[in-house]
Amino acid sequence: MKILVCISHVPDTTSKINFTDGDTKFDTNGVQFVINPNDEFGLTRAMWFKEKQGANVTVVNVGGAETEPTLRKALAIGADAAIRINTTANDGFQVANELAQVVKEGGYDLVIAGRESIDYNGGMVPGMLAALTNANFVANCIGLDVDGTAAKAVREIDGGKETVSTTLPLVIAGQKGLVEESDLRIPNMRGIMMARQKPLTVLEPHGATEETSSVKFEKPAPKGAVTLVSPDNLDELVNLLHNEAKVI
């Protein structure tokens, strides 16, 4: 089984976010980048298929040379090869089209993508990728088993879970629950050394059309000041709630 795992290069959630050029561009200075958490769950599941069923695992990313350390980490975790599509990921439709070309040319049986990236939170690429490659699709996937060309997936729905049966080729949008958090892997020294010898192929983009563009970024409003009231001073609390907060 040939598996392609889509990897997004995203800012660590602890990074301080700033914008430049009149809040029109993301400032990458001082920002630590990591594998998108939803993609990390998918990569770990792919490693299970590799170890238990002998699957071949390739990771792919749409981005510039600055994303290669993230791909190298995926190789150190255990992926067999990496592909970088040499263009900036600006738009979901553009990214899906570029990935679709890789899927079609590589003949992959299973494509594992994260439900969404934690920077743009678009949640659109996996579904569009499935449509562009005429593959079956399971969204919000929290469980997956494959037997030959048959697959059984569990997906999260409002108020519960749903188990579905389908066939390969298949695209899933994975998320937390696809594997346990305790199963996520940290590259060891042997994996890091071996990653240096694994192929990382750079492909030029096919020039997919960008349907959207970011006009301006805006930070959330800062949190308001907090007023502390002694638990022994209920009269002051009532007064503040009534006259200042105006909630009673």
Higher pLDDT, 62 or 212: 62
**Is residue 240 included in any domain, yes or no?**
no
**CB proximity list for 133: less than 8 A, separation 6 or greater:** 100, 103, 104, 111, 169, 171
The pLDDT value recorded for residue 245 is 83
Q: Which domain holds residue 203?
A: 2-220
**Is residue 235 included in any domain, yes or no?**
no
**Is residue 119 included in any domain, yes or no?**
yes
- How confident is the model over 24-41, as pLDDT tens digits? 998 999 899 999 999 999
d(CA 185, CA 183): 6
**Is residue 233 included in any domain, yes or no?**
no
**Is residue 15 included in any domain, yes or no?**
yes
Total domains in the chain come to: 1
Higher pLDDT, 23 or 225: 23
Helix, coil or strand: residue 73:
helix
Q: Is the pLDDT of residue 226 over 90?
A: no
C-beta separation of 1 from 145 below 8 A: no
The CATH code of the domain that includes 30 is 3.40.50.620
In this structure, the chain runs to a length of: 248
Strands 25-27 and 33-35: unpaired
Q: What is the pTM of this model?
A: 0.88
The pLDDT value recorded for residue 71 is 97
Burial of 123 from C-beta contacts in 10 A (0-12 / 13-18 / 19+): middle
Which two structure tokens, joined as six digits, stand for 2? 């040939």
d(CA 248, CA 239): 9
C-beta separation of 42 from 147 below 8 A: no
Which two structure tokens, joined as six digits, stand for 161? 């879970």
C-beta separation of 60 from 35 below 8 A: no
**Is residue 14 included in any domain, yes or no?**
yes
- How confident is the model over 174-208, as pLDDT tens digits? 999 999 999 999 999 999 999 999 999 999 999 88
Q: Which amino acid is at 193?
A: M
**Is residue 234 included in any domain, yes or no?**
no
